[in-house]
Amino acid sequence: MKIAIVGATGMVGNVMLKVLAERNLPFTELLLVASEESVGKVISFEGKDYKVVSLATALAAKPDLAIFSAGGNTSLEWAPKFVSVGTRVIDNSSAWRMDATKKLIVPEINANLLTENDKIIANPNCSTIQMVLALFPLHKAYGIKRVVVSTYQSITGTGMKAVRQLEDEYKGIEGIKAYPHPIHKNALPHCDVFEENGYTKEEMKLVNETHKILDDQISVTATAVRIPVVGGHSESVNIEFEKDFDLETVRKLLEDTKGIKVLDNPSENLYPMPLTAQGKDDVFVGRIRRDFSQAKTLNLWIVSDNLRKGAATNAIQIAEYLLDKQFINKKKK
């Protein structure tokens, strides 16, 4: 199997390579792809040096699988070109997520929807993935009516420019800015750009993607906040159900869900944190408690590494499913 990683020099691309190695995804040839200014750079992977190639070079190689993490415009232009030469594409940008002809996949929830005919498969937004993975078993059991989510999102979701801004501010250095305000010792209620309805794109992704993955009858409202951490995204989630629940069963449902780890013992100061999640693939859930202000309503605190399960790991898991179902040719072309 010939694999192309598009956006290999970026933050998600770097983590993609780590996950690729950890999970031993089989390949006979690996193409590391980036923008023209990065072509020729050398990336070491598994004891071997790889030269970064251009999109055109990768396209000419006709890979069996291309995993894109290079921005929406790149995906819109190049994903169909790769499909035209027989490549299956898993895309980590927002380009195809809300396209009615494309599947939006969290493997633990809806990988079974994939067929051999799905040539471009969309990876959901990082903040959506961790939330819907926790909501999924609860929706099946109790029927979710409404979700109110506030996120506390890592600067790594913005990329290396944001990491540099935080580091510069921490050192008192004037440097390049990813945000319109300082992020060190601050919190910005501003993830992505504002839309006409007053919500940011990040907030509307939580709404629209939850509808597509779980149920379009669930009412969702979101506030997304950028905070000066690097380990992962945190979410305070308030969930109103159709049916009542007991907390013991809720905990059991979450504990039995693949990909979730429950950390919920406040008396021992045990609860999820970005430091807990960093470098791990699990979605961590804690602060599980009933909302005493409203019937049939639950509060959860959900944390996950946005570069791993929120991006790279979810994409590799999709690839694993495609291989398992033999939707990708394992032999080198």
- Show which residues are catalytic: 126, 233
**Two structure tokens written together for 279:** 């470098």
Amino acid at 134: A
311: which DSSP letter?
I
Which strands form 2-6's sheet, in the order they lie side by side?
29-33, 2-6, 65-68, 88-91, 120-122, 103-104
Please tell me the distance from the alpha carbon of residue 209 to that of residue 27, in angstroms, as a whole number: 31
Question: What is the distance, to the nearest Å, from the Cα of residue 96 to the centroid of all Cα atoms in its chain?
Answer: 14
Please tell me the distance from the alpha carbon of residue 159 to that of residue 307, in angstroms, as a whole number: 10
Could you tell me which residues come within 8 angstroms of residue 28 by beta carbon, excluding any fewer than 6 positions away?
1, 2, 331, 332
Beta-sheet pairing, 219-226 with 233-241: unpaired
